[in-house]
Amino acid sequence: MTSSSLIPLPVQSDGVPWPTEDWPTGPLDARVDRAGLEKLVDHAFAQPEPDDLERTHGFVAVQGGRVVAERYAHDVEPDDTFTSWSMAKSITCALVGILVRQGRIDISDPIPVKEWGADDPRRRITIDQMLRMVDGLRFREAEDLGDGSVRYYAEDESDVIPMLFGHGKADAAGFAATLPKVAEPEARWNYNSGGSNLLARLVGETVGGGEQGMRTFMEQELFGPLGMRTAQPRFDEAGHFIGSAFCYCSARDFARFGLLNLRDGLWEGRRILPEGWVDYCRTPTPQSPMGTYGAHFWVVPGSLGLFTCNGAFGQRTLISPKLDLVVVRVGRTAPEKVGHVIRWCKEVVDAFRPTAA
């Protein structure tokens, strides 16, 4: 699951406490472009809200395991929670990884979907292929406009709208199980939120105990150990975690999740994710556009080793091994303007780029 070309993940310094209870804070590294960073953050939180970024709820930057920059909107508190949207996919991936560590799931196995009969060709789709979104199923979510922004399909041609808000919302994984096969597995890459809900259901079915069993598993194995006290996963009427889109968290708790991945799945000496799992998640899938997708994480080509959790309306958790950096931005930006958020996030990371030396 590893790649020798990946930038190594940094370890937590002995003198820096883990943020299980409270985040340690520290000054910005003297090499950071402080003036440039302050200008970017001032712009994001300007009143009235800027036309390009629109609403930014919160921003957190963590370097070396310490919060070094943080800002919130005038009406937001640090413990306020916000919709993850598709950043939840990376959390779902972590839950799969925990079961891999426990020996309860093998991602090379076909994903068991009870709605698919013995002769259904979809039964050949593996858990790995669904994590990397090369499963060959149809899913119509959004059209990439080429600048980082997207155009969502109209309701009558969308799969994500009926799954999350229409006739499929009572059982999102059940809706996803109806998706037709349109290509052979591995033949193409296609962003598939339905697959994420099938994976979330698989975790719940493996854990057992229905909704409460899944909630207990998430708390005991992920949220609790990391101190993610604000995490609020949402479930549908069928009792399944809606792992494609809905895990509410504070900006600081999204940063805790980012730090877990920056630290190779280790937390306070405890292995949360199996060895090599984060490398698997951040290894580019060749079929994805310009190799920008791994396994339920996005990958940013370049010298900083960036891999990211992305969500609709400009939700971002950016992780850079080269800079030992996690950046979180939560807000609400119109889909056609998300390209501005992407550029803003790049410029924020670039302000830390001198510390790579």
Check: CB of residue 295 under 8 Å from CB of residue 132: yes
Burial (Cβ within 10 Å: 0-12, 13-18, ≥19) of residue 155: exposed
CB atoms within 10 A of CB 156: 7
Where does the chain show beta strands of DSSP type E? Answer: 55-63, 66-72, 142-144, 150-152, 232-233, 247-248, 266-267, 270-271, 298-299, 307-311, 315-320, 325-332
Distance CA 341, CA 64 (A): 24
Instruction: Give the helix ranges, DSSP H, for 122-250.
Output: 127-131, 160-165, 172-176, 193-207, 210-218, 224-226
Check: CB of residue 195 under 8 Å from CB of residue 86: no
Q: What is the DSSP letter of 219?
A: I
The residue assigned the tokens 């150990």 is 225
Distance CA 88, CA 33 (A): 31
Q: Please tell me which residue, 235 or 3, carries the higher pLDDT value.
A: 235
Determine what percent of the chain is predicted with pLDDT higher than 90: 93
Task: List, for residues 165-179, the tens digit of each pLDDT value.
Answer: 999 999 999 999 999
Contacts for 273-278 with beta carbons within 8 Å, 24 or more apart?
Answer: 273/94, 273/97, 273/98, 273/101, 274/97, 274/100, 274/101, 276/1, 276/2, 277/1, 277/97, 277/100, 277/101, 278/9
Distance CA 239, CA 209 (A): 10
Look at residue 145 in the predicted model and tell me its pLDDT: 47
For the chain, what is the mean pLDDT? 95
Look at residue 103 in the predicted model and tell me its pLDDT: 98
Check: CB of residue 321 under 8 Å from CB of residue 281: no
Determine the 3-state secondary structure of 265 from DSSP: coil
118: which residues sit within 8 A by CB, 6+ positions away? none
Distance CA 60, CA 72 (A): 9
Q: How confident is residue 311, by pLDDT bands cut at 50, 70 and 90?
A: very high
Distance CA 314, CA 340 (A): 9
Task: List, for residues 266-285, the tens digit of each pLDDT value.
Answer: 999 999 999 999 999 999 99
Task: List, for residues 58-116, the tens digit of each pLDDT value.
Answer: 999 999 999 999 999 999 999 999 999 999 999 999 999 999 999 999 999 999 999 99
Check: CB of residue 296 under 8 Å from CB of residue 131: yes
Distance CA 81, CA 249 (A): 5
Task: List, for residues 125-172, the tens digit of each pLDDT value.
Answer: 999 999 999 999 999 986 554 555 555 666 567 899 999 999 999 999
Task: List, for residues 181-221, the tens digit of each pLDDT value.
Answer: 999 999 999 999 999 999 999 999 999 999 999 999 999 99
Question: Taking Cα atoms as reference points, which of 311, 304, 354 lies closest to residue 326?
Answer: 304
Look at residue 141 in the predicted model and tell me its pLDDT: 84
Hey, what are 219's tokens?
A: 């708390």
Check: CB of residue 9 under 8 Å from CB of residue 332: no
For residue 315, give the amino acid letter. Q
Hey, what are 233's tokens?
A: 């996963």
Question: Taking Cα atoms as reference points, which of 87, 179, 91, 85 lies closest to residue 135?
Answer: 179
Average confidence (pLDDT) over 256-265: 98
CB atoms within 10 A of CB 152: 15
Distance CA 80, CA 72 (A): 10
